[in-house]
Structure 1
Amino acid sequence: MENIIVACPHCKSLNKLPKKNEYKKAVCGVCKGNLLDNKPIKIDNEAEFNKIISNVNIPVIIDFWAVWCGPCQMFAPTFESIAKNYPLKANFLKVNTEEIPQVAAKFGIRSIPTIVAVKDGVEIDRVMGALPEMQFAMWVDKIINS
């Protein structure tokens, strides 16, 4: 049986689960948090970012943002709302470009917000700007179904 590897939205630990179309229950092996309670994961350092990006085998949607950025603040609730719709289908990460500039530089981030989709450690798409919720949901659907 094929497995998926996901990062826990509560403790950031990696979890291996059997791949299914639908899950009734999924619990983190470390913190016992509900893996179906999908929410953006705040990344605190480059090592944490690299651990998730290199090991997770579902799409990872990354929001590159900064505290001082008005459009970033406007987009944050949309990012959080859409993340809830994709438990165990995608991990959603928040990377503050002021706190972890080396990660932003690695992805060539020139303006924020920039949303990058990564699969198996490789960038597969990106969009720039604070997208409306419907447009962002359509983009995430495209990433997950590709």
Structure 2
Amino acid sequence: MSSPDTLHLVCPHCHTTNRVALQHLSSAPDCGKCHQPLFTGQPVALDAASFDRHLSRSDLPLLVDFWAPWCGPCRMMAPAFEAAAAQLEPQLRLAKVNTEDEQALAARYQIRSIPTLALFWQGREIARQPGAMGQADIVRWTRAALARPR
């Protein structure tokens, strides 16, 4: 765990853990290893290994869209999820997990329908919402879930 004035953030490009001072969080910090931006305003595609790294090594909440390329509602929700990423970063990381490619990960989290949004914080799932949503609903649901006591 990081100190009160720093956060650990996993790079969306090389998946290296970076320590970032809180006061620099909104000033577009770059990864210390690959020098790419730590926040892109876009969801990051994760496989099982990078998912586990983002889940266990980052101090930010992680909002995951479990989806599949053949799913019509998933494809319809994709632009709204991307727009939500631009609105919610850098307070949390948004990610996408393709359940066709990552069937074991989908099974581990008992994803029964897609799309399903799952919100993780401090390594555990704190909220889940099945079904497609628009950008405003994604943002509202995420903020409400983070505001609930744990």
Q: Settle same-fold status: TM greater than 0.5.
A: yes
Q: From the superposition, tell whether residues 86 and 15 of structure 1 become closer, same or farther in structure 2 (CA, over 3 Å).
A: farther
TM-score by length of 2: 0.87
4+ residue runs of structure 1 moved beyond 3 angstroms? 143-146
Match of 1:116 among 115, 118, 131: 118
Cα deviation for residue 97 of structure 1 reads 0.5
Match of 1:91 among 86, 90, 93: 93
Which secondary structure state, in structure 1, belongs to the residue aligned with residue 65 of structure 2?
A: strand
Match of 2:45 among 42, 45, 49: 42
Q: Indicate conservation of the 8 Å contact 1:35/1:87, yes or no.
A: no
**Runs (5+) with no aligned partner, structure 1:** none
Which secondary structure state, in structure 2, belongs to the residue aligned with residue 84 of structure 1?
A: helix
The two structures, once aligned, show a CA RMSD in angstroms of: 1.8
Cα deviation for residue 142 of structure 1 reads 2.1
Q: Indicate conservation of the 8 Å contact 2:84/2:136, yes or no.
A: no
CA distance in 2, matches of 1:49, 1:118: 11
Cα deviation for residue 43 of structure 1 reads 1.1
Cα deviation for residue 11 of structure 1 reads 3.0
1:81 equivalent in structure 2: 83
> Which AA in structure 1 matches 2:114?
I
Which secondary structure state, in structure 1, belongs to the residue aligned with residue 87 of structure 2?
A: coil
TM-score by length of 1: 0.90
Which secondary structure state, in structure 1, belongs to the residue aligned with residue 125 of structure 2?
A: strand
**Runs (5+) with no aligned partner, structure 2:** none
1:70 equivalent in structure 2: 72
Cα deviation for residue 25 of structure 1 reads 3.5
CA distance in 1, matches of 2:31, 2:40: 11
Q: From the superposition, tell whether residues 48 and 37 of structure 1 become closer, same or farther in structure 2 (CA, over 3 Å).
A: closer
Q: How many residues align?
A: 145
> Which AA in structure 2 matches 1:122?
R
Q: Indicate conservation of the 8 Å contact 2:30/2:36, yes or no.
A: yes
Which secondary structure state, in structure 2, belongs to the residue aligned with residue 136 of structure 1?
A: helix
1:141 equivalent in structure 2: 143
Please give the per-residue CA displacement for 1:61-120, whole angstroms capped at 9, x wherever unaligned. Answer: 000000000000001111111111222211111101010111111111000000000001
